[in-house]
Amino acid sequence: MIKADNVSKQFVRNIRNEGKNSGKKRTKEEFFAVNGVSFEAKAGEILGILGPNGAGKTTLLRMLASLMTPNGGSVEVYDSNMNQITDLVEKKKHIGYLSGNTKLYNRFSTREMLKMLSEIYGIAPEEADKRIKHIEEVLEMSAFIDNRIEKLSTGQTQRANIARCLIHSPEIYIFDEPTLGLDVISSDAIVNFMKKEKENGKTVLYSTHYMEEAQYLCDHIFMIYKGKKIAYGTPSELMEATGTDNLRDTFKELVKKEGGSDE
């Protein structure tokens, strides 16, 4: 289980004023990328994080995955026995994080990479070999597992990337737009993967711009806009509240209500 408690992240933006009077002055402006966000995602649940571009989704997910530290509030991570994990490094052992920015080491093969990762996660070599064999079968990677990653296709790379998240069998998956730019077959593979892991009792958090996918997949949806929560509930609850019959329109309605233009 993962819980966000009043989480905030502040950034400092440099702005160059080149007005007539101010000359070339640089001023710093502080703004909240994420502002006082709270929610929780239980085991066996898929929570969708939705929001327009620049809403703060990626920053929020990075904080949840312990890649960034929040300025305010806290992220609480619990293992399967509901023991809270407080150590920052230890937290990462319970989380599998995947985003468009998590690229793989091109000069390694998938197998070499997985072996290296299991050493870092502290998995015994025999156990690691077993897991790699298992992952190889599940993700159908035997054809390319020993090739260097730079030689793989986009779909194969994405599968290798999922394998990366799987090696330490985490309890929580955090996926930032995992299906972005993938063809139907590859993105279906990922969607199915998330569904299966949910059935295995794992927590899945994910952000996407594909509303149909979210409607089909998510148990709960957390909608964020300008760093703040604007809605939370099951897809059907949200649709009901806005009087729409699909999530795409719900999204547009909610953003419009906040005074923003839709995407």
Verify binding: residue 210, another protein, rule CB under 8 A: no
Q: Whole-number minimum distance, CB 173 to another protein, in Å?
A: 12
Give me the 135-174 binding string for another protein, x by CB under 8 A, dash otherwise. Answer: -----------------------------x----------
Shortest Å, Cβ 179 to another protein: 18
CB of 160 to another protein, least distance (A): 11
The answer to whether residue 101 forms part of the interface with another protein (CB under 8 A) is yes
Shortest Cβ 207–another protein spacing (Å): 15
Within 50-89, which residues bind another protein (CB under 8 A)? 62, 65, 67-69, 88-89
Of 3, 42, 93, 248, the one binding another protein (CB under 8 A) is 93
Tell me: does residue 117 bind another protein (CB under 8 A).
yes
DSSP string covering the chain: -EEEEEEEEEEEEEEEE--TTT-SEEEEEEEEEEEEEEEEE-TTEEEEEE--TTSSHHHHHHHHTTSS--SEEEEEEE-TT-PEE--HHHHHTTEEEEETT----TTSBHHHHHHHHHHHTT--HHHHHHHHHHHHHHTT-TTTTTSBGGGS-HHHHHHHHHHHHHTT--SEEEEESTTTT--HHHHHHHHHHHHHHHHTT-EEEEE-S-HHHHHHH-SEEEEEETTEEEEEE-HHHHHHHHT-SSHHHHHHHHHHHTT----
Of the candidate spans 44-52, 102-110, 208-216, 236-244, the one that interacts with another protein by CB under 8 A turns out to be: 102-110
The residue from 19, 23, 122, 259 that contacts another protein (CB under 8 A) is: 122
Output the smallest distance, CB 238 to another protein, in A.
Answer: 30
| Cα 151–Cα 119–Cα 193 angle in degrees, nearest 5 | 60
Least distance to another protein from the beta carbon of 101, Å? 5
Q: Which is nearer to another protein, 57 or 62 (CB)?
A: 62
